[in-house]
Structure 1
């Protein structure tokens, strides 16, 4: 089954080749359906259409080149929706501070480099989606506070924690009514 990929990038003649001969060419190799907002016909509000496409996408490819405010906003929305995002940039200096810890494909005006690195990231995204579909729950244990009391030859620990369980898929998990931790 083909996966849907929504591409966020500046709409500029400067990036036409990146999209047509970089992103789309590599996507075809993986049998992905790739769309960009300017290729669509819609009668709704443009921002609402972007939200819908992000929701519908299996993952996002976002080119951060040129520090485009719209792309930054859309990436923030996709990130808040817990979408997998493959980040690209022509120039490492275009990476905003808040995303500097995330991997980026830095292609430096080279379509060959873009295609080589993008293949690896798309392969990762497809495997990650399959992994999430097999194991849709992520459990994250956050330590709020802890205290260790040492008396004589024994140790006593008091630990407060929060257990976060997140559904990683778009599908609702049925049959999970109550979770008890003893």
Structure 2
């Protein structure tokens, strides 16, 4: 059941207001959860963040300008976006907090008549907030590996669900990554650090992307494969992903238990264009012209600790244009260096050999030290406008 997270001052005088909110939530088939009643062990703030993240809508009563309420309101705006946050207040207009006056607020009076009016208005506002579409979302931050992966899967599935009779022809998925979602393998061991749920979500990301391609979408990917590991340092998951991607490029899948899925794996590759680049870049996953995800991580770690989500039309257009220019430049360079039909597989093997060659790793590190650590070039995609 979807939830409605309620942020409200912790005072008995607000119990009647909470009752109205809970009644409206039930009318909208939502379960109301009060932030002030979180009673699980441990710090309250992570619990509040968890409940905000999983809620369909957040209701915040800013009456009295309680500092804790305002702090949690800021978290809710960051995680959910203003469209999914409903602000209630008993304050008159001249007492509105100056820093949130631009956000729509639902005023009410704490009287019998005022609460009766709120009881009628609130379900309408809740439904509007729940139904807010992704292209209305503000620039957002997703924290954590699992939430990022689940959000990607959600948006890919929404793309599939919205496909008409012509399928997804004309839709382009753009990825800038180390080895990309395509390389995620059934044969990876579950990392105890991240858990089974995260590994399962990664496989679902790969499978959903494959389904998008089989329905007619195209994939353009700029890959910057991991390099400069020693053989003993190369994480097992990267070793397996390298082998899977090379195999797919050469026309074979590493899925062993299901020949049908293995065949679909190879078929989906026909919808892909890859370019390899030694130039470091932001990790990007752009779904059509609807949404872009830019992941941030520490070098060598699995998953992304923080991901920026962009849905602003103008910013998306700029990101897509910059990506396409970078892709075409990288693709032309790939073809220039490796003009044979086996260009991609050959260059992938070169990257893999460098990643597992102890001598190459030592030479690379010595060169890095000689240049003071400034040997690597970087690129930057357009920054988002401050709203």
Q: Same fold (TM over 0.5)?
A: yes
Q: Distance in 2 between matches of 1:88 and 1:94?
A: 13
Q: Which residue is equivalent to 1:48?
A: 46
- Measure how far apart 1:38 and its partner are: 3.6
Question: Of the two, which has the highest radius of gyration?
Answer: 2
Q: 3-state SS of the aligned residue for 1:65?
A: coil
Out of 111, 115, 118, which is 1:114 matched to? 118
SS at match of 1:88: strand
1:171 aligns with 2:175: no
Larger strand proportion, structure 1 or 2?
Answer: 1
Change (3 A) 1:55 1:165: closer
Residues 165 and 126 (structure 1 numbering): CA distance in 2 closer, same or farther, change over 3 Å?
closer
Q: Tell me the distance in 2 between the aligned counterparts of 1:36 and 1:104.
A: 19
Paired residues in the alignment total 150
Q: Distance in 2 between matches of 1:95 and 1:118?
A: 20
Cα 1:139/1:54, change in 2 over 3 Å: closer
TM-score w.r.t. the length of structure 2 is: 0.35
2-side partners of 1:65 and 1:166: how far apart?
27
Residue 37 (structure 1) aligned with residue 35 (structure 2): yes
Partner of 1:103: 104
Q: Highest relative contact order (Cα 8 Å, sep 6+), 1 or 2?
A: 1
Deviation string 1:62-96 (CA, Å, 9 cap, x unpaired) is: 00111111000000111122341000011235531
Report the 3-state secondary structure (helix = DSSP H, G, I; strand = E; otherwise coil) of the residue aligned with 2:131: helix
- Checking the alignment, whether the CA contact within 8 Å between 1:64 and 1:95 is kept in structure 2 is no
Higher helix share: 2
Deviations 1:5-32 (A, max 9, x none): 1100001011000001x10111111110
How far apart are the structure 1 equivalents of 2:174 and 2:88?
38
Query: How many angstroms does 1:166 deviate by?
Result: 9.2
After superposition, the Cα gap between the structure-2 partners of 1:139 and 1:122, relative to the gap in structure 1 and judged at 3 Å, is closer
Task: Look up the match of 2:9.
Answer: 10
Q: 1:165 to 1:101 in 2, by over 3 A?
A: closer
Q: Is the 8 A contact 1:139 1:166 kept in 2?
A: no
Partner Cα separation in structure 2 for residue 27 and residue 65 of structure 1: 20
Is contact 2:9–2:61 with CA below 8 Å preserved after alignment? Answer: yes
Matching residue of 2:73: 75
SS state of the match for residue 7, structure 1? strand
* Residue equivalent to 2:25: 27
2:60 aligns with 62
Please report how far the alpha carbon of residue 59 of structure 1 lies from its aligned counterpart in structure 2 after TM superposition: 1.5
In the alignment, the residues of structure 1 paired with residue 23 and residue 137 of structure 2 have an alpha-carbon distance, to the nearest angstrom, of 37
> Cα 1:66–1:94, aligned 2, differ >3 Å: closer, same or farther?
farther
- SS of equivalent residue, structure 1 residue 79: helix
RMSD of equivalent CA atoms: 2.8
